[in-house]
Each structure stands twice: as C-alpha cells, then as structure tokens.
C-alpha cells in the first residue's frame, strides 16, 4: 500500500485570531515569567546591581529609622536623624543622611537649621528652593504652636512659654529684630509685633512709636524683646539707655514696661532679672 505524504507542519501564526506573545513557547520565550534569567545567561551590568543594592539599603534604613521614632519618640534619635526623618518626605528617592549631617554641620543645631534664612539653606548641597521652603514651613508651624501657648493667657504666669516662643522666633535671626508684646490690664496678650529690623548689631527703635502703638491697641503693659545675632545676650549700654527712654515715655501715660528680654542663641537675659528696671 502506498504511503500517505506527511501532513504539512502547522503554522499557527497564520491561524485567524492568533497573536504571538512574549510568553508564548513557540517564540522560544522563557515560560518562567518576568523575573527569569534569559537563556543566553547574560547578566545585568554591575553598576545596575550596585545601584539596586544601594536603593534597597536606604529603603531599609528608612524603615528602621521610622520604627525607632515610632517606638521611642524623638528621644530615640539624634538631631541629624530627626532631620533625616523629616527629609524622607521632602526628598523621597535619595539617601538623605548626608544632607541632614551637612545641614547640622553648617548651622550647628536643629534649631539653627530651621531658623536659617532661605538663601543660606540653599547653599547646602542637595537643598533646593522647595526643600528650603518646606524646612521654613516646619519652623513657622513650631512658632505658631509655641505662640498659641501664650495667647489668651496671663503672660506673666506663663513666663517659660514666653521665653520658649521668643527663642524659637528670634534666636537664629541673622539681623537684630525688635519686637513688643502688648498686654491688656490683665496682662493677657493683645498683639505681638515686630517694631523694627536692623543690621547684625543694631536695630533702630523709636520709643514714641512704641508708645503710640500701645495707645492704639489700648495696651497698658509691654514686654520688650530683641535678639543679639552674635549669640551673647548681655545687654549693651545702648540697650539699657533705649529701655530707659521707653519706660520714661510710657510711664506718664499709664503704660508699664514689665521687662526687656534679650535673646541669644543659647540663652536669654532679663532686664528685670538683672535689676536694670
């Protein structure tokens, strides 16, 4: 009997509706899926492997740092680590430890970083305008929080809160700033206003303007505050004379100056405590 000719091999690519895919065995693809190595045994470049290892490392580091903060609060972290944790949000895909350490090295403390002017923050490698603005936002929120502790309260009975607020607001200013807390007859805060800004070692203050503003606000008591960018809160002769002039101008109008506080980087001086008023 004559043999039948062998049937032609099927060509599925010509079958209506058939579409070849990357995972189709007919195309010689590896059926193990996306993560399988190619059959040629080709390896990824060493630089790519190293980059992925570094990424995995800093993501693991971020998780560990978050866990330490979650379990132990801020006391469990050094200043640079707390700053690093904050920078995680601001710089999501980069190792932020070197940036945090560079900021602390430049400005000395966490408070110094948050109090630094925008242009100086941006001089640190890795800190652009967006990150600098976000750091200043954190500083502003902190100041508002501290200010809320003295609002609608008898200021003289919340003295430590007053000092904390003034230190947060002024200790790291690079120029002298003169501000006044205006109080009512119950010594409750009416207004907190910056009356002048000057140079690194001088601020022009006009006693008549200070008293005029007190009368406008119906304020009967004042707390004078200014900072010394040098860091030393010791009163100068000019500070003492200016304070005496304000007292002498305000007293005949029934306005009392409770104190004049000078804020330094690591402390403060009180005229009342020094018996200068």
| Structural domain harbouring 218 | 154-270
Contact between 212 and 246 under an 8 Å Cβ cutoff? The reply is no
| Percent of the chain clearing pLDDT 70 (strictly above) | 77
Contacts of 38 (CB under 8 A, 6+ apart): 30
Q: Give the model's pLDDT for residue 155.
A: 77
The answer to whether residue 62 scores a pLDDT higher than 50 is: yes
Q: Indicate the average pLDDT of the chain.
A: 80
- 117 with 162, same domain? no
Q: In the chain, how many domains are there?
A: 2
- 107 with 183, same domain? no
- Mean pLDDT across 93-114: 90
Rounded to 5 degrees, φ, ψ at 7 are: -65, 145
Whether 3 maps to a domain, the answer reads no
- 214 with 120, same domain? no
- 178 with 262, same domain? yes
- 236 with 167, same domain? yes
- 130 with 172, same domain? no
Q: Which of 144, 170, 201 is the endpoint of a domain?
A: 144
- 196 with 232, same domain? yes
Q: Give the model's pLDDT for residue 89.
A: 81
Whether 264 maps to a domain, the answer reads yes
Decide which of 58 and 241 is more confident: 241
Whether 34 maps to a domain, the answer reads no
Cα 201 to Cα 226: distance, rounded to the nearest angstrom: 11
Whether 109 maps to a domain, the answer reads yes
Q: Are strands 189-197 and 177-183 parallel, antiparallel or unpaired?
A: antiparallel
- 105 with 163, same domain? no
Q: Give the model's pLDDT for residue 148.
A: 79
- 167 with 244, same domain? yes
Whether 27 maps to a domain, the answer reads no
Q: How far apart are the first and last CA of the chain?
A: 131
Whether 252 maps to a domain, the answer reads yes
- 79 with 108, same domain? yes
Cα 231 to Cα 195: distance, rounded to the nearest angstrom: 21
Q: Which of 144, 178, 197 is the endpoint of a domain?
A: 144
pLDDT by residue (tens digit) across 156-202? 777 888 898 888 888 888 889 999 999 999 999 999 999 888 776 67
Q: What residues are paired with 181 via a beta bridge?
A: 192, 223
Q: Give the model's pLDDT for residue 132.
A: 93
**pLDDT level of residue 143 (50, 70, 90 thresholds):** confident
**pLDDT level of residue 58 (50, 70, 90 thresholds):** low
Whether 14 maps to a domain, the answer reads no
- 158 with 209, same domain? yes
Q: Give the model's pLDDT for residue 6.
A: 55
Contacts of 271 (CB under 8 A, 6+ apart): 235, 240, 243, 259, 260, 261, 277
Q: Give the model's pLDDT for residue 4.
A: 56
Lowest mean pLDDT among 69-78, 116-125, 218-227, 253-262: 69-78
Q: Give the model's pLDDT for residue 227.
A: 93
Q: Give the model's pLDDT for residue 196.
A: 83
Burial of residue 156 (CB within 10 Å: 0-12, 13-18, 19+) is: middle
Whether 131 maps to a domain, the answer reads yes
What CATH number corresponds to the domain at position 125? Answer: 1.10.150
pLDDT by residue (tens digit) across 3-54? 555 555 555 445 554 444 444 433 443 333 323 334 444 555 544 444 444 4
The answer to whether residue 120 scores a pLDDT higher than 50 is: yes
The closest alpha carbon to 113, from 276, 151, 105, belongs to: 105
pLDDT by residue (tens digit) across 191-250? 999 988 877 667 788 899 999 999 999 999 999 999 999 889 999 999 999 999 999 999
**229, HSE (Cβ side, Cα atoms, 13 Å):** 16
pTM beyond 0.85: the answer is no
Q: Give the model's pLDDT for residue 159.
A: 87
Q: Give the model's pLDDT for residue 7.
A: 54
């Amino acid at each position: 009997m004559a043999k039948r000719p062998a049937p032609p091999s099927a060509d599925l690519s010509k079958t209506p509706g058939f579409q070849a895919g990357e995972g189709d065995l007919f195309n010689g693809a590896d059926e193990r899926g996306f993560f399988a190595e190619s059959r040629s045994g080709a390896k990824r470049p060493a630089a790519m492997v190293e980059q992925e290892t570094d990424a995995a490392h800093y993501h693991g580091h971020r998780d560990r740092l978050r866990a330490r903060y979650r379990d132990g609060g801020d006391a469990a972290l050094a200043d640079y680590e707390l700053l690093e944790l904050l920078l995680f949000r601001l710089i999501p895909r980069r190792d932020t430890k070197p940036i945090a350490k560079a900021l602390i090295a430049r400005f000395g403390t966490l408070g110094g970083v948050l109090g630094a002017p925008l242009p100086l923050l941006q001089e640190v490698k890795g800190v652009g305008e967006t990150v600098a603005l976000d750091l200043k936002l954190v500083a502003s929120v902190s100041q508002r929080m501290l200010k809320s502790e003295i609002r609608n309260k008898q200021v003289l009975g919340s003295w430590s809160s007053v000092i904390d607020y003034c230190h947060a607001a002024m200790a790291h200013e690079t120029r002298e700033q003169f501000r006044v807390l205006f109080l009512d007859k119950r010594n409750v805060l009416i207004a907190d206003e910056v009356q002048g800004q000057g140079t690194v070692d001088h601020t022009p203050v006009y006693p008549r303007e200070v008293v005029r503003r007190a009368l406008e606000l119906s304020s009967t008591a004042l707390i004078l505050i200014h900072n010394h960018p040098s860091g030393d809160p010791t009163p100068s002769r000019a500070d003492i004379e200016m304070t005496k002039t304000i007292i002498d101008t305000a007293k005949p109008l029934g306005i009392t100056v409770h104190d004049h506080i000078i804020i330094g980087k690591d402390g403060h001086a009180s005229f009342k405590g020094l018996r200068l008023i």
